[in-house]
Chains A and B, each alone.
Chain A
């Protein structure tokens, strides 16, 4: 089964800290790994994505780290802000198959 396992289920981080969310997968054919961000009352939206030919991708305060040998990838949010409080979903897919989503992480940034 094409699963993507995400942890933790919930995370509380102080303002200014680093938030880290992890995902692991089994299918070595996966070739695209996006992260989606969902604010309360909204649908998820693409935040950042990486392909397995690079080990890291950074966009502003958001970084994806990718470890192909360990079959893991993670989202790091630097200098976390209260506005980053949201639910985050990792996902993966291979070829033109549909995305497989992780179970989500509810992130809360406290002052």
Chain B
């Protein structure tokens, strides 16, 4: 079974802090994705990566950056957290870019 794990289920940070969200997959997938999920807005793609050290912006990349130094690990970075980044963050991975995506359980981030 594919397993996607995220470093924290719940996280509380203060405005202006630098925040790291980590995601690890164990299926040797090429592609990894970061989404945020907000009520009424569905899943919005922040960034995705199709190979180590490769990344592409999604629909809402502003205020975020990503890092993929190893194939199994994809990190989302909030350089200076703001209250409007309070959300549920979901990581996913897939073998091919358009293949089935396997999601982690999510990190609920609250920025105070």
- A residues lining the B interface (CB < 8 Å): 6, 9, 32, 34, 41-46, 89, 93-99, 101-104
Contact = CB atoms under 8 A, between A and B. Distances in A.
Contact of A101 (B31, B43, B96, B97): B43
B103 A43 contact: yes
A44 B105 CA distance: 8
B43 A44 contact: yes
Interface residues of B, number: 21
Which of A34, A43, A93, A104 is most buried by chain B, counting CB atoms within 10 A of its CB?
Answer: A43
Contacts of A89: 42-43
A104 B105 CA distance: 17
A52 to B, nearest CB: 14
Q: Nearest 8 CB-CB pairs, A to B?
A: A43-B103, A103-B42, A104-B42, A93-B98, A101-B43, A96-B98, A46-B100, A96-B97
Contact of B101 (A9, A99, A103): A99
Choose among B31, B92, B98 the residue with the greatest number of A CB atoms under 10 Å from its CB.
B98
Contacts of B100: 34, 46
A68 to B, nearest CB: 19
A46 B55 CA distance: 24
Contacts, number: 50
Interface string B81-112: 00000000010100011101111111000000
Pick from A9, A44, A98, A104 the residue with the most CB of B within 10 Å: A98
B41 interface: yes
A96 B101 CA distance: 13
A46 B95 CA distance: 14
A33 to B, nearest CB: 12
B98 A95 contact: yes
Given A96-B96, A102-B42, 12 more contacts: A32-B98, A42-B103, A42-B105, A42-B106, A43-B92, A43-B106, A45-B103, A98-B48, A98-B98, A101-B42, A103-B42, A104-B43
Given A89-B42, A104-B42, A104-B43, A43 B105 contact: yes
